[in-house]
Amino acid sequence: MSRNLRIVLIHPPHESEERAHALHAGLAEAGYEVIASLPADIHLPEQIAQLQPDMIIVDAESDARDVLEHIVIATRDERRPIVMFTEDEDPSSMEAAMAAGVCSYVVAGLQPERIKPVLKVAMMRFQREQKLLHELEDTKHKLAERKVIDRAKGLLMTKHGMTEDQAYQKLRTMAMNKNLKLAEIAQRILDVEDLLG
């Protein structure tokens, strides 16, 4: 994982040189390549879009709310695993970081030997979260399709005096004849009903 992981390091504009160097050294020692080190400013979304990193690491010694705002905008359209190294133990800061999409919030964890396991766990957590989000979207989509089909069945039952099974069979036959999905034919029936009133 570490050899080909493309990392962008983000830091507040006024970060201490010593801290930045420690993180760079820890990443290099763990076998990671930092493709860019960027300040958290208004150009961040554009730069992230251009670089297409696999992971974002935020290095913020203290309050990182400004940094988080820029990251939320930068990763809004394309989510990425985000790891934050900080000295801020304030629970509200942790909550804000998690709400911004941070996978791993590490307080006082810049020791080189800790970096690799932290990044591995963050990547695994991110992948698991993405899988759950995809499953949730898929479930929502199927539920929406089910509602459309049920409405179309109800319409056929009311208008044509069909039983539920007959209405379903009618939808299936129409879908097969037109080479459409069941939900698509159901939506067409509802659209026609809306048009004709």
Taking the domains of the chain in order of start, what are their residue ranges? Answer: 2-110, 137-196
User: Cα torsion at 148, 150, 154, 160 (round to 10°)?
Assistant: 80
Q: Could you write out the DSSP letters of every residue in 25-91?
A: HHHHHTT-EEEEEEESSTTHHHHHHHH--SEEEEEESS--HHHHHHHHHHTSSS---EEEEES---H
pLDDT for the residue numbered 30? 80
Architecture of domain 137-196: Orthogonal Bundle (1.10)
pLDDT for the residue numbered 1? 47
pLDDT for the residue numbered 77? 82
pLDDT for the residue numbered 62? 67
pLDDT for the residue numbered 71? 82
pLDDT for the residue numbered 179? 95
d(CA 178, CA 25) in angstroms, rounded, equals 62
pLDDT for the residue numbered 134? 94
The CA angle 50-55-60, to the nearest 5 degrees, is 100
Pairing outcome for strands 33-39 and 55-60: unpaired
- Of 94, 93, 34, 39, residue with least CA distance to 71: 39
What CATH superfamily classification does 2-110 receive? Answer: Response regulator (3.40.50.2300)
Residue ranges of the chain with per-residue pLDDT less than 70: 1-3, 14-17, 62-63, 109-110
Burial of 56 (0-12, 13-18, 19+ CB in 10 A): buried
Average pLDDT, the chain: 87
DSSP type of residue 4:
G
d(CA 12, CA 15) in angstroms, rounded, equals 6
The pTM for the full model equals 0.72
